[in-house]
Amino acid sequence: MHAIDLLRAEHVGLRELKANMSGYAHSKKPVIATDHGKPLRVLVSYEDMVSILEMLRDLLAPKTAAALTRGRKAIESGAKGIPARRTLDKLR
């Protein structure tokens, strides 16, 4: 799953989700549960959740956070940015 998949996830009302929980739970697609049209919870697969948590761990690592801060300051000062993937690959 990519982050953009989560942004495009199907919105499902609580009543619909409850009535068809088994189908949604076994689907590989993320679902956003809504209450009166307002997003309330996100249903993602276990594997996707592990992937999200690993990504957060990598982003919160001190070396990564420091590199991101330096990059933001450089861009604010007029420097050209570099792709995030290249930066993360260097930090690993």
Q: Which residues contact 63 (CB under 8 A, 6 or more apart)?
A: 91
Average pLDDT of span 49-57 = 90
Domains annotated for the chain, with CATH where assigned, are 1-45 (3.40.1620)
Q: What is the pTM of this model?
A: 0.64
Q: Which residues contact 25 (CB under 8 A, 6 or more apart)?
A: 43
Q: Look at residue 2 in the predicted model and tell me its pLDDT.
A: 64
Lowest mean pLDDT among 15-19, 36-40, 67-71, 82-86: 82-86
Give the range with max mean pLDDT: 18-27, 48-57, 58-67: 18-27
Give the range with max mean pLDDT: 30-34, 67-71, 79-83, 88-92: 30-34
